[in-house]
A = this chain, B = another copy of it.
């Protein structure tokens, strides 16, 4: 496949140049002291009063050259390991929603650790998801276990790669203990690190924060998988123009990527973003807007210019329900992504501009993701596929139905969707006139009602319990009416 592009090659180069100018002349406000000192040691100009860091062109260019062209996600079960761009598209859940649509009441409420256990199991079972980025926060987390209460149920029920974030260094120390306990030892974990760490160290415009920046440095030093996402919102935190948002966002990606390379040359990263254009009538966060996918296409072009894998949050919707708006906002942006050359799609399960997880949407997104993978597989092209001989045999006016050429391909050429209804109306009515949300809910119940033991062994559970005395149970239980 050749990707669709919204920028010419010259425009890509000019964006790159503009970003170098921004980094050299405007610079970044870097709140983290360690980061400032790393930047300084590697040739940046650091103002000790304003904490503005300026990157001379030669410095930025030096570290762009050592960026790695691939990134590997590892799962606890290595058969789920994926490397982008080779295995693109890698499909991931959207993450860190504070709320969930309760599967029984249909009402929005704060999400809890038992929700995460259920979601982890669902994502473990749904075929198109390649990675579980922990979908919600856990409102029931005991003090000091903000991240543990999210990561533990995720690991307990999902052996695919997991993406995780943390609050601060204490949080990081806690989860590393958990990961070592699951792996058997620190050494064993480092041999196959099955959690990918993720942060948003750059707050647009052009500000590196304290804690996420610290975390990015920490994992880069250790050589553990970590990457940043850039989140400009045109009109508020970046210029209202898409080109300006691109120039600034690209500078922000380069700043974070360069810092990681200064810490550890050759550390893999991803050109990840969540770019939006604000709805200036109300200031609404328009993550369902068509411009989100357009900006992703442009950022994907920048990523290819630097030869780094790319991706980010896409397939998002502003809708509060699984209606047609949810469908087209999700579907349109992810097709922009796949035809624009994105490698990684953080796309599953979230409604209401990333605010709430919804089980049925996660299932619908799984089918949409299968469609994306079908697009990526493309059109198989050779003489047998062209089938001129078959066309000759069938003759004008004939039927291809019974041809061996047809039979051989009938289960593989087209995606045999499981959720989408293709029945004729009378049959559909006889089956209860279900819309796709109803089909998706049935699928959710089917998956969640399979009683599932923890995917951790007794030894692993015992080790974890001995390390964390008051850890949440993290058990998968069918949601019950309250």
- Residues of chain A at the chain B interface (Cβ within 8 Å): 1-7, 11, 14-15, 18, 21-22, 25-29, 52, 108, 203, 205-207, 234-244, 246-248, 277-282, 284, 286, 288-291, 293-294, 298, 318-332, 334-336, 339-340, 352-353, 355-356, 361, 364, 368, 371, 374-375, 378-382, 384-388, 390-392, 394-401, 403, 405-406, 408-411, 413-417, 419-425, 428, 433, 435-437
Contact = CB atoms under 8 A, between A and B. Distances in A.
Nearest to A241: B385
Contacts of A403: 239-240
A5 B14 contact: no
Nearest to A279: B422
Nearest to A284: B422
Contacts of A339: 4, 335-336, 339-340
Given A279-B416, A396-B207, A288 B422 contact: yes
Contacts of A396: 26-29, 52, 205-207
A420 B327 CA distance: 11
A386 to B, nearest CB: 5
A394 B232 CA distance: 14
Contact of A332 (B28, B322, B332, B361): B332
Contacts of A319: 420-421, 435-436
A243 B385 contact: yes
A449 to B, nearest CB: 23
Contact of A397 (B206, B281, B410, B416): B206
A205 B394 contact: yes
A380 B290 contact: no
A160 to B, nearest CB: 23
Contacts of A246: 379
A414 B279 contact: yes
B236 A399 contact: yes
B331 A335 contact: yes
Tell which of A5, A27, A332, A353 has the most Cβ of chain B within 10 Å. Answer: A332
Nearest to A282: B422
Contacts of A244: 385-388, 390-391, 405
Tell which of A288, A289, A290 has the most Cβ of chain B within 10 Å. Answer: A290
A381 B11 contact: yes
Given A26-B395, A241-B385, A246-B379, 18 more contacts: A7-B379, A26-B392, A205-B395, A207-B397, A235-B401, A235-B409, A236-B400, A237-B399, A241-B387, A247-B386, A290-B374, A290-B375, A294-B378, A320-B428, A324-B330, A328-B330, A328-B331, A352-B425
Nearest to A332: B331
A438 B418 CA distance: 27
Nearest to A11: B381
Contacts of A298: 379
B336 A414 contact: no
A14 to B, nearest CB: 7
A334 B12 CA distance: 26
A205 B392 CA distance: 10
A27 to B, nearest CB: 7
Given A290-B374, A413-B277, A328 B368 contact: yes
Contacts of A424: 284
Contacts of A321: 433, 435
Nearest to A27: B396
A237 B400 contact: yes
Contacts of A397: 29, 203, 205-207
6 contacts: A4-B340, A14-B386, A206-B395, A239-B390, A242-B385, A325-B420
B18 A386 contact: yes
A406 B324 contact: no
A379 B396 CA distance: 47
Given A1-B6, A239-B406, A323 B327 contact: yes
A359 to B, nearest CB: 13
A466 B235 CA distance: 60
What are the 9 closest A-B residue pairs judged by CB atoms, nearest first? Answer: A327-B327, A328-B331, A244-B387, A324-B327, A206-B396, A280-B410, A323-B435, A4-B4, A29-B396
A178 to B, nearest CB: 33
A388 B22 contact: yes
B433 A320 contact: yes
B436 A324 contact: yes
A101 to B, nearest CB: 10
A382 to B, nearest CB: 8
Given A298-B379, A339-B335, A339-B336, A391 B324 contact: no
